[in-house]
Amino acid sequence: MSNEPFDAVEIIRAKRDRAKLSPEQIDWVVDAYTRGVVADYQMSALAMAILLNGMERDEISRWTNAMIASGERMDFSTLSRPTADKHSTGGVGDKITLPLAPLVACFDVAVPQLSGRGLGHTGGTLDKLESIPGWRCDLSNDEMMRQLEEVGAVICAAGTGLAPADKKLYALRDVTGTVEAIPLIASSIMSKKIAEGTASLVLDVKVGSGAFMKNEELARELATTMVQLGTDAGVATTALLTDMSVPLGLTVGNALEVRESVEVLAGGGPADVVELTVALAREMLAAAGKPDADVEAALKDGRAMDVWRRMIAAQGGDPDAELPVAKHSEEIRAERSGVITGLDAMQVGLAGWRLGAGRERQGEPVQFGAGVELHKSVGDEVREGDLLATLFTDTPERFARAQQAISGAWSYGEQAPARRVVIDKITA
C-alpha cells in the first residue's frame, strides 16, 4: 500500500469528466510527477484531459505555483536597479531580445533574459548569439548577478534549477500532441518567469501563421491568462499582441539575425523590428517606473550599441568579430509581377529550418550561417524575375526542400493591406 494521498487515475478521471481539481490534487500530481511517482503515460492522459476540458483561473494559478515549488527561485531584489523582463511566445525572425535587452538597460533597469534554443520552425535566442565567436550562454547565478549590476543586461540559458516540473512536462507535451493547451502554455511560461524573480514582465504574444496561436481570439485568451497569473504572483505584467503572419525583419537564421539586430542597434534596420523593439522597451520601462525614457534616442545615439558591446564581451564574445557566413547560397526570383500582399511566416520559417538554421532533434548543432535573407516583403511592388530572397546553407542538398517550403510564401494582388505590428495591449 502506498503512502501517497491521491492516486493518478482518480485525478485523470476527474479532469476527463470536467471536474475542477482541488488545490491538494494539483499540488500532489505535479510533485508526484516530478518525483517519478506519476508515470509519463498518466501525465500524458491528464495533459490531454486539460487540453480538451480546460482549467479555471484558480486551478491554473495553483498548477503554476506547484511547478514553481518544484525548483529554486531566484532573487534579484539585492540589485541596485529595478528588473524588467520580456518573454515572447516565439516566431519567425524574432530577434527582438537582442536589441531590446541592451536598449532597456541604458535606462538603469536590469534586464535578465533567460532564453532558450529553437525547436522546429522557430529560432532560439541562444542559437543566434552563439554565432558570435567566443560568446557563451552558461553563466552561474553569481556571474549573472554581477553582469546585471555592472552591464545591466544579460542573455543566458535558464539553469536547470528553475521549474524542473515544467522541463519534464514540456518534453512530454511535445511528443503527445498537448503543447497547444492554453492552461499548460500559460503555466509553463509563467512558472519560469515567476521563479526567475523579475519585478516586472512584458509578454509578446504572437498571433499568425508563424506563431503557436494562429488566431487572435486564442492569442488574446493566452495573453489574458498569463497577465492574470503574473499579476496574482505580484509581478507587474502586461502583454502586447503582435503580428506573426509575416516574418519579423528581413532575415531568418542565426548569424543573419545577429547582423540585422546590430543594424537596429546602429540606428537603422527594418521598420517592423525597430517598431516592435521600441514598443516593448517602452512597456518594460513603464513597468519599471520609467515611463518617460526616450527609447528612440538611445538607439540613434549609440548608447544601446555600447551596452550591447559590453554585454557580448562580458560573456566572452567578440563584438567586432566577423560573423559566420554559409558556404552556399541560392536565389529565389519572382515568377510574376505585382504588389506583394502577403508573405507567409510559417513557410519562411520552415525554409530556414530546412536549410540548417534550426534542429530536428534536441541537442543537434545548428548551422550558424544558414537561413533566409528576404529582399522583398509585404507592400513591395515586383516585376517577374526580381530577386525575392537568398537562401543560405553549408549543405547544398538542403536547397530543394527549402525551396519547396518557401516558393509559395509570397502572395500578390493590387494593394497590400496595412500591417499592424502591435495589434493590442492586454493589462490586468
Q: Which residues bind ligand URA (CB under 6 A)?
A: 170, 184-185, 188-189
Nearest residue to ligand URA by CB is 188
Least distance (Å) between residue 183 CB and ligand URA: 10
Residues recognised as catalytic? 87, 166, 173, 188, 192
Measure the CA–CA gap between 258 and 58, rounded to whole angstroms: 41
Neighbours of 289 (CB within 10 A): 12
CB nearer to ligand URA: give 181 or 340.
181
Please, which residue, 161 or 408, has the CB nearer to ligand URA? Answer: 161
**Smallest distance, ligand URA to C-beta of residue 140, A:** 22
- Under 8 Å between Cβ of 32 and 38: yes
Question: From residue 93, how far is each of 96, 123, 138, 279 by CA, in Å?
Answer: 9, 7, 23, 17
Q: Residue 53: is it exposed, middle or buried by C-beta count within 10 angstroms (0-12/13-18/19+)?
A: middle
User: Which strands form 387-393's sheet, in the order they lie side by side?
Assistant: 251-252, 371-374, 387-393, 328-333
Count CB-CB contacts under 10 A for residue 109.
Answer: 23
Instruction: List alpha helices for 77-202, DSSP H.
Output: 97-105, 125-129, 141-150, 164-174, 182-196
Unique residue bearing C-alpha cell 497577465: 227
Q: Which has the closest alpha carbon to 74: 170, 164, 159, 156?
A: 159
Our CB check for ligand URA shows the closer of 153 and 184 to be 184
Secondary structure element (H or E) that encloses residue 331, with its range: strand 328-333
Query: Considering the complex, what minimum distance in angstroms separates the CB of residue 205 from ligand URA?
Result: 11
Q: Which is nearer to ligand URA, 6 or 170 (CB)?
A: 170
What is the spatial distance between Cα 258 and Cα 265, in angstroms, rounded to a whole number? 10
Nearer to ligand URA, 84 or 185 (CB): 185
We find the least distance from the C-beta atom of residue 63 to ligand URA, in angstroms, to be 12
Give the whole-angstrom CA distance, residue 292 versus residue 338: 43
Task: Tell me the residue type at 6.
Answer: F
- Point out which residues pair with 333 in neighbouring strands: 387
Cβ proximity to ligand URA, 160 vs 395, nearer residue:
160
Closest CA to 407 of 379, 383, 372, 381: 372
The length of the chain, given as a count of residues:
428
Beta carbons within 8 Å of 407's beta carbon, 6+ residues apart: 332
Least Å distance between CB 170 and ligand URA?
6
Query: Of 309 and 359, which has the nearer Cβ to ligand URA?
Result: 359
Nearest distance from C-beta of residue 116 to ligand URA, angstroms = 7
DSSP-assigned states of every residue in 14-29: HHHTTPPPPHHHHHHH
CB of residue 52 vs ligand URA: minimum separation in angstroms? Answer: 17
Computed over its alpha carbons, how large is the radius of gyration of the chain? 22
132 vs 205 by CB, closer to ligand URA: 205
Instruction: Report the nearest approach of ligand URA to the CB of residue 113 (Å).
Output: 14
Secondary structure tally for the chain: helices H, strands E: 16, 13
Tell me the closest approach of the beta carbon of residue 60 to ligand URA, in angstroms.
12
Nearer to ligand URA, 148 or 195 (CB): 195
Q: Rounded distance, CA 198 to CA 256, Å?
A: 30
